[in-house]
Structure 1
Amino acid sequence: MSIPRILLADCDSYFVRCAMLADPEGAGRSDLVIVGGKASSRGVVTSASYAARKYGVHAGMPMATAVRLCPRAVFAPVPGEMVNRKHHEVRAVLDEFSPIVEAASVDEFYLDMTGTEMLYRGESLADTARRIQQAVMDRTGISISIGGATGRTLAKMAASVNKPFGVHVVPPGGEADFMARFDLADIPGVGPALAEALRRRGATTVRDLHPIDLPTLVSWVGDGRAEWLYRLARGEDHGRVSPRGPQKSVSHERTFATDITDPEELETRLMMLAVDTGASLRAEDLRGRTVTVRVRYADFTDKSASRTVPDPIESDRAIFTVARELLHGLLRKRGGGVRLLHVGVSKLMGEDDESAELMLFEEQPDGPETARDRKIAEASDRLRGKFGKEAIVPARIVKRGKDGSRGRGGSQT
């Protein structure tokens, strides 16, 4: 039986690099780049260049704080189109090196290299990783760091060792020694609450867990997490690569320059997000059954609501119809200024999903989406692809005027 050989290709400062490629005369000319919006916006930092991070800037930080820490930086919006384009370009290169590639996120890819030793004529996994790394850089302009190991969690942790543009491979048999260098909080899947629970027991590093037996660890953190953590701390990682990691959701959100209290204005902003979310779904040949709306109020309180429809939807009108009902339900429960609005679609199905395919031929007269909605959405996508994103938009959005407030930042998980 072949020893598992798994690589994790992690794009270095991906959103920053995409911003540089999207704006070579602006962000592309600076080492200090912060992605997330304008310096005057009320949003948060999506990503920061390595040079900007030295000033203390990090993802999730309020933009106002980032401006104070690094005032000379170039501030750039999330380059959604470039992010999606480079994701597919990087994936295409990786597919040439491995028969099994899994996109874990927009900027992370697992490759299963198990059994490819003959294909690469006995080349070491580290040397193969360096060739992959260089091929991606040469053909896409994206820098990646690669970690290699016998399991996916170990490979992910190895990818962080020599960033940026580094390679680190954990040799078979060296897993326990490799893990011993880390704090427990460094392990993917050990969140702040679990790390704090372990800290209260006196365990902050992986080495601290070595003398702890499994029953004791179970009493600390419960059955499920205890066994996983017990084995991983000793270098036992049985995580493997799936040919295609299931995408869990597609969403877009917008932080507003000033709080919005007018329900009609919020509906218009909601429609913008529904249009962007629908376009992202169709670009990936996906449909979804659950629509979620999240509202963040001026006091940073978040409230959300979801609805699952009988049949998968993909059209802008159907997403907006469901999202509008959810929004008004939230606003009836609480008034006040809205700082952020989010629209997401989950419970996704691809075009090859048999059950989803059958549903398309069963017209539901009282459902949120019709065949006509899908045809209109497809025609709109073709026009936008040919003439640009503003070639066709809902009349309600046009009436608002082009005041520069339309947001297109999105996320896919």
Structure 2
Amino acid sequence: MLEHVPQPSVARAPDPRGPAPTILHLDMDAFFAAVEQAAKPSLRGKPVIVGGLGPRGVVATCSYEARVFGVHSAMPTAQARRLCPNAAYLYPRGAVYRRVSGQVMALLGELSPLVEPLSLDEAFVDLRAGGVPPDIVHTRAAAERLRADIRARTGLPGSVGLAGSKMLAKIASELAKPDGLHVVLPGTERALLAPMPVRTLPGVGPATAETLRRAGLTTIQQLVEAGEDELVRLLGKAHGAGIHVMATGHDERPVVAERDTKSVSVEDTYDVDLHDRMRIRGEVARLADRCVGRLRGAGRSGRTVVLKVRRYDFSTLTRSETLRGPTDDPVVVREAAERLLESVDTTGGVRLLGVGVSGLADYTQEDLFAQYAEAHPGPEPAAGPLPALPAPPVALPEPEPATRRWLPGHDVRHAEHGAGWVQGSGVGRVTVRFEEPGSPAPGRVRTFADDDPALEPGEPLPLVPEDAA
């Protein structure tokens, strides 16, 4: 049997009949860190790392200046400190990031009605749905205008990819980083993908990549040469066929404006393992209340309560309870979470707790009762004593800190010196740098007692003054 020898590919001119580059992918560069650099003039051009700062903290994102030292997202903060000890380490300011994200998403909405957000700093846009003519001149102009508008409104850089599909647009935005624009011209898709590693394709995770590697397939070009039948043999019919289609540069997934949220959850990781059962129960109750707050903020309710517990040995347990109907009642969610906790052994210690609600709906069980009562009016209840109500749950008080907690990176205001942010705190002192987003130069640094009555938490200032935007 003759061994098949692959023939060298012949270079061909791009085929202009490919799909027009009307799918735009925006990825804000190092978003959290970029927001902090824009808000704090003293950090511009310097390594900035945002994330959890405790012994078990994890890097959420870092500036490009920090990436030079090998720091990256999801790295333990302790490791990042060893690699880049002179960086600014800041706690996240979620409310600020959400506000800036809202400004960016509003600009995308002006560009097209079909916007598919993937996260606070990333989204797909269908330019054709926004009336942009499907040719390279007009789509490129729209992308450049978007980048300029984002810079003017937020002061932040963003990278944009343009292509005929979502997969290629996302790859293009990666090639555009930082702060650039990359367009995949029709007919060049296969040449662009050929040398890239298989992990570039959607759906190829570590396990799939390892299966392909054992078969000698590490690049996308090798996937194409292997053929669909071989990939189906290795990965199964649906997965193998899908990967082959992607490898040939095809992706028919549309931009979907509405992404239905399947669950709402909150979780906390603790610097020191929790052992006290009453403390753990109190944390679960607090997380349940926070979860319901998010649930109500989204205008939703849910019928399945989920408890997540990561123990001292890193084993993670999940327990769930499905209610008779959807609810957004904090008492109901709290009691369900506490019942679930009763089935979990926490004697060895707990390092993470989480509470979530799934099976979301736009109504609650109480709404259904009210609708039924309106449709089926019945006789008035007979007079008599009201049934006894269950006693309200006992709220476990959280211990009051001996002093106020000043988190690095968070905003403060001093009665005399004005707005600033916390550079560091400890041993009864807090160090503040007084500067604002529009300051032309780094601000002055002063240190105060952490209980100084003139110092209080401050409101974040806009990155760009509204009159300038």
Which whole-Å CA distance do the structure 1 matches of 2:85 and 2:328 have between them?
41
Does 1:140 find its partner at 2:154? yes
1:360 to 360, 367, 371: 367
Does 1:344 find its partner at 2:344? no
Q: CA deviation digits over 1:263-296, x for unaligned, max 9?
A: 1111222233223322223333233333322212
Q: Which runs of 5+ in 2 are unaligned?
A: 1-16, 372-392, 408-469
Contact 1:4 1:114 in 2 (8 A): no
Task: Find the structure with the greater CA-based Rg.
Answer: 2
Q: Which residue of 2 aligns with 1:65?
A: 79
Q: Which residue of 1 aligns with 2:184?
A: 170
Does 1:10 find its partner at 2:24? no
Which whole-Å CA distance do the structure 2 matches of 1:315 and 1:20 have between them?
40
Which whole-Å CA distance do the structure 2 matches of 1:290 and 1:152 have between them?
33
Secondary structure in structure 2 of the residue aligned to 1:330: coil
Using a 3 Å threshold, how does the CA distance of structure 1 residues 238 and 256 change in structure 2: closer, same or farther? same
Contact 2:266 2:355 in 1 (8 A): yes
Runs of 4+ in 1 over 6 A off after TM superposition: 119-122, 403-407
Per the TM alignment, residue 119 of structure 1 is displaced from its structure 2 partner at its CA by 6.3
Secondary structure in structure 2 of the residue aligned to 1:178: helix
Which whole-Å CA distance do the structure 1 matches of 2:271 and 2:328 have between them?
29
Using a 3 Å threshold, how does the CA distance of structure 1 residues 25 and 130 change in structure 2: closer, same or farther? closer
Contact 2:21 2:184 in 1 (8 A): no
What's the RMSD between the two structures over aligned residues?
2.9
Using a 3 Å threshold, how does the CA distance of structure 1 residues 348 and 179 change in structure 2: closer, same or farther? farther
Which whole-Å CA distance do the structure 2 matches of 1:189 and 1:241 have between them?
18
Q: CA deviation digits over 1:308-360, x for unaligned, max 9?
A: 333333343333222222222223xx5311111122233333x4xxxx37862
Does 1:212 find its partner at 2:226? yes
Per the TM alignment, residue 116 of structure 1 is displaced from its structure 2 partner at its CA by 4.8
Q: CA deviation digits over 1:174-220, x for unaligned, max 9?
A: 22222213110122321100000000000000011121121211110
2:40 to 19, 24, 29: 24
Which whole-Å CA distance do the structure 1 matches of 2:132 and 2:194 have between them?
32
Which one-letter code corresponds to 2:31 in the other structure?
Y
Alignment of structure 1 residues 227-246 onto 2, 5 Å: 227-246=241-260
Aligned length: 368
Which whole-Å CA distance do the structure 1 matches of 2:187 and 2:136 have between them?
19
Does 1:36 find its partner at 2:51? yes
Q: Which residue of 2 aligns with 1:388?
A: none
Normalised TM-score (structure 1): 0.80
Does 1:49 find its partner at 2:31? no
Which whole-Å CA distance do the structure 2 matches of 1:168 and 1:395 have between them?
58
Normalised TM-score (structure 2): 0.71
Q: Which runs of 5+ in 1 are unaligned?
A: 365-393, 408-413
Contact 1:277 1:344 in 2 (8 A): yes
- The range that moved more, 217-226 or 282-291, is 282-291
2:209 to 179, 192, 195: 195
- The range that moved more, 334-343 or 155-164, is 334-343
Using a 3 Å threshold, how does the CA distance of structure 1 residues 120 and 225 change in structure 2: closer, same or farther? closer
1:255 to 262, 266, 269: 269
Which whole-Å CA distance do the structure 2 matches of 1:85 and 1:286 have between them?
21
- The range that moved more, 272-281 or 194-203, is 272-281
Q: CA deviation digits over 1:127-184, x for unaligned, max 9?
A: 2111111212211334321112111111111111111211112122222222213110
Q: Percent identity?
A: 35
Contact 2:20 2:134 in 1 (8 A): no
Contact 2:197 2:219 in 1 (8 A): yes
Using a 3 Å threshold, how does the CA distance of structure 1 residues 217 and 49 change in structure 2: closer, same or farther? same
Secondary structure in structure 1 of the residue aligned to 2:108: helix
Contact 1:33 1:76 in 2 (8 A): yes
